[in-house]
Structure 1
Amino acid sequence: MKKKNSALLQGLLYIILGIVFVYFAVIQVDENGWGVFAYVIMAMATIDFVTGFRFIFVGLREKMKKND
């Protein structure tokens, strides 16, 4: 039987991915300045952070619902 990934784990993975994109964006800006590619990387990081926090909130809500 395959265990489903919990929403908390998925949220954590999205936040880690967002941190990685921020790191790449900082390197890009340091080397080449604020170009289009830096804005694209930052947009991807923002989407990952928002998605990660949503998954975490859903996971916490599910845990609280199970405890009641």
Structure 2
Amino acid sequence: MNRRFLTQGLLYFILGIVFVFFAIQEVNRSGWGIFAYIIIAMAAIDFVTAFRMFYQGLRKNQTPSE
């Protein structure tokens, strides 16, 4: 796996986990408000970006280099 894609994927994955943690805290504190939905949307975007980075890194490894 390409190291750059792995590093970026891990960063986005960690950010997604942090946003999920903040969303759980927000829901426990004040219920399902608009801010909780925004935080969950940001976490979802981070998780999708992380998986795309991991996939891109795997795809780069499988192509033969000349």
TM-score after normalising by structure 1: 0.85
Instruction: State the aligned residue count.
Output: 63
RMSD of aligned alpha carbons: 1.4
Q: Unaligned regions of 5+ residues in structure 1, if any?
A: none
Q: How does 1:21-36 map to 2 (within 5 A)?
A: 21-36=19-34
Pick one of 6, 19, 23 that aligns with 2:17.
19
Match of residue 62 from structure 1: 60
- The residue number in structure 2 matching 1:46 is 44
Unaligned runs of 5+ in 2: none
- Alpha-carbon deviations, 1:3-62, whole Å to 9, x = none? xx6111101110110000000000000000000000000000000000010000001111
User: Following TM superposition, where does structure 1 have runs of at least 4 consecutive aligned residues deviating by more than 6 angstroms?
Assistant: none
TM-score by length of 2: 0.88
1:66 CA drift (Å) = 4.8
What percentage of aligned pairs have identical amino acids?
Answer: 57
